[in-house]
Structure 1
């Protein structure tokens, strides 16, 4: 191992140091995600180091390459990343967004959105990795309903003022604690508390495609007709349901019902029905055993197009229905 000449974040949790770009790509890929790594300029004096600490469904990593590098991760399937740039700068492309990150501008990358970066030679990241299923399950708990689409955050994260600065300090505090003492992370209750805090703060702080639904959740309570429709959907998800039936049960016109769901739940009544049925499929697959049949269970809950069903299921639960059945 190459000797370090300075102290870096998470130094007690050294993962590797290397001058070999192939080794760096493979080692980082094992704890982050598969990606392409290549030199951006003429320099070939890579000196990569990564420190990495896992806690619960989250992890913190310090990573630097010591050379101008291009990282292309493509679509990241199973995790979200919050990156603080400790030094240097990084040209970042996430989905349709492109910007330059530095000590004042961090980034949030989302599952299912392509990610590529060009790091300056002195660039170093302190990154928070969040398991996709954990974040989406937490979001579902906050909303009180299942979600159908992955979370898509606005990628730019200002970290020099406001709530972004508070989030940066929280990540740095945890990094320091990991370097000082293992007592905090040895407590399952403490780890669970940190997970909840980091995920809740990110979901409520950083704009995303669920911001409106989250805002509605903490605004005045949803009206009675929305609750009535929700209760009916949950109680009769195994039966054919029409918008007319829902409006009659709720005691309002269909337009009022749609407006109430959009404002207070961020989805349509039928999107909620689909989400509830998807949850019922998931529950059945977990208990069906080896005699279970994915197609039979999917059809039972109204998913006639099995290819589309498999895509929806994987987006929601991070695995194929057949994988849930095997487990």
Structure 2
């Protein structure tokens, strides 16, 4: 792989200082297979179809707390079909070129400087046209849930509010979003000289989910469940029951049969629901929820050891747990705990 730098276009609406983020690439590649393999590891599992143009992939990454920022280009035109984003909401903005998005039946065209919010529960299809370079921002769902509950408790948000599967920010919202991103980027220089104060880091992390929840699109005030068919609403209720059961048993031994029995459905129906909603088996979904809970605990409870946190969430085999964790988050548990 050839090391190179990339200087994204900075138009009027995207006047961000990306120099620190784009200083050193995580990787560059002219290989289709290598690009797909490395991006699946760094972002999310996906199918990738290469269309016209020369492969010239470059990927840059930075983290501020639990928020991750990326700059990515493929060079060639590509079609990306990711798994549903079960652990994060994705925000993306073309720095150069344009992209097309189909997400849970919604279609968007994204031009340079526009920002899309993606939260698919079923499927998404993304086309990056030739020469497209994008800024990507992953907001963890764990942060989103905590912020949403606080807003609900304070009366600032309806309890049944859900983010739409896909929408674009309007021009005013884009300006506000850019200010939040600029704050994150500024920390990349500051954190190199001294660690961020915990309270300031928490503010930076929570500013993004707070922005999402308090700046919805104008047509997002009606809960999505109202627009669904009776069969879809029943499936959503079953999924909510399954999700609640999984979250209540994060530290227990739980079999597929027991999960299906307590959810009140057959194992076959349980598997079908999870595959459609998450592109995962029920046990994969439960394991990923436990891994997410472990990560949250390691980040918030620095005094606890990795072993006791893993054991508390049902992981009794250290080697297998470490492998699952690294596959999920791209680092080993002790690296998270030390971070």
Same fold flag (TM > 0.5): yes
Distance in 2 between residues matched to 1:187 and 1:309, nearest whole Å: 44
Residue 277 of structure 1 deviates from its aligned partner by: 11
Name the structure 1 match of 2:333: none
2:36 is the alignment partner of 1:25: yes
For the pair 1:204 / 2:214, whether they are aligned, the reply is yes
Return the TM-score normalized by structure 1.
0.63
2:302 alignment counterpart: none
- Partner Cα distance (1:275, 1:35) in 2: 25
* Cα shift readout 1:131-159 (whole Å, capped 9, x = no counterpart): 233323432332239x9989442523235
Q: Do the aligned residues in 2 keep the contact of 1:51 with 1:62 (CA within 8 Å)?
A: yes
Equivalences, count: 260
Per the alignment, residue 141 of structure 2 pairs with: 132
Q: Which moved more, 1:74-83 or 1:25-34?
A: 74-83
- Equivalent residue number for residue 165 of structure 1: 175
Secondary structure in 1 matching 2:26: strand
CA distance in 1, matches of 2:92, 2:108: 13
Structure 1 residue runs of 5 or longer lacking an equivalent are 214-270
5 Å-filtered alignment, 1:78-89, equals 78-89=87-98
> Is the 2:167–2:217 contact (alpha carbons within 8 Å) kept by the matching residues of 1?
no
The correspondence of residues 173-188 of structure 1 with structure 2, limited to 5 A, is: 173-178=183-188, 181-182=191-192, 186-188=196-198
- In the alignment, what sits opposite 1:36? 47
1:92–1:275: structure 2 CA closer, same or farther, 3 Å change rule?
closer
**Contact kept? 1:184, 1:190, Cα under 8 Å:** no
- Equivalences for residues 288-307 of structure 1 within 5 A: 303-305=263-265
Q: Does residue 2 in structure 1 map to residue 13 in structure 2?
A: no
Cα displacement (A) at 1:205: 0.7
Q: Distance in 2 between matches of 1:126 and 1:198?
A: 15
Distance 1:79 1:303 in 2: 25
Q: CA deviation at 1:2?
A: 2.1
Retained in 1: the 8 A contact 2:57–2:73? yes
Aligned counterparts, 1:1-327, within 5 A: 1-4=1-4, 6-8=6-8, 9=18, 10-12=21-23, 14-41=25-52, 43=53, 45-144=54-153, 151-153=162-164, 155-158=166-169, 161-178=171-188, 181-182=191-192, 186-207=196-217, 211=221, 282-283=247-248, 285-286=249-250, 303-305=263-265, 319-320=285-286, 324=290, 326-327=314-315
For the residues of structure 1 that align with 2:62 and 2:45, how far apart are their CA atoms? Answer: 19
Contact 1:2 1:17 in 2 (8 A): yes
Q: Decide whether aligned partners of structure 1 residues 64 and 286 sit closer, same or farther in structure 2, where only a CA change above 3 A counts.
A: closer
Shift of the 277–122 alpha-carbon distance from structure 1 to 2, 3 Å rule, reads closer
* Structure 2 residue matching 1:52: 3-state secondary structure: strand
Q: Is the 8 A contact 2:64 2:188 kept in 1?
A: no
Specify whether residues 164 and 121 from structure 1 end up closer, same or farther in structure 2 by C-alpha distance, changes over 3 A only: same
RMSD between superposed Cα atoms in Å: 4.2
Deviation (angstroms), 1:89? 0.6
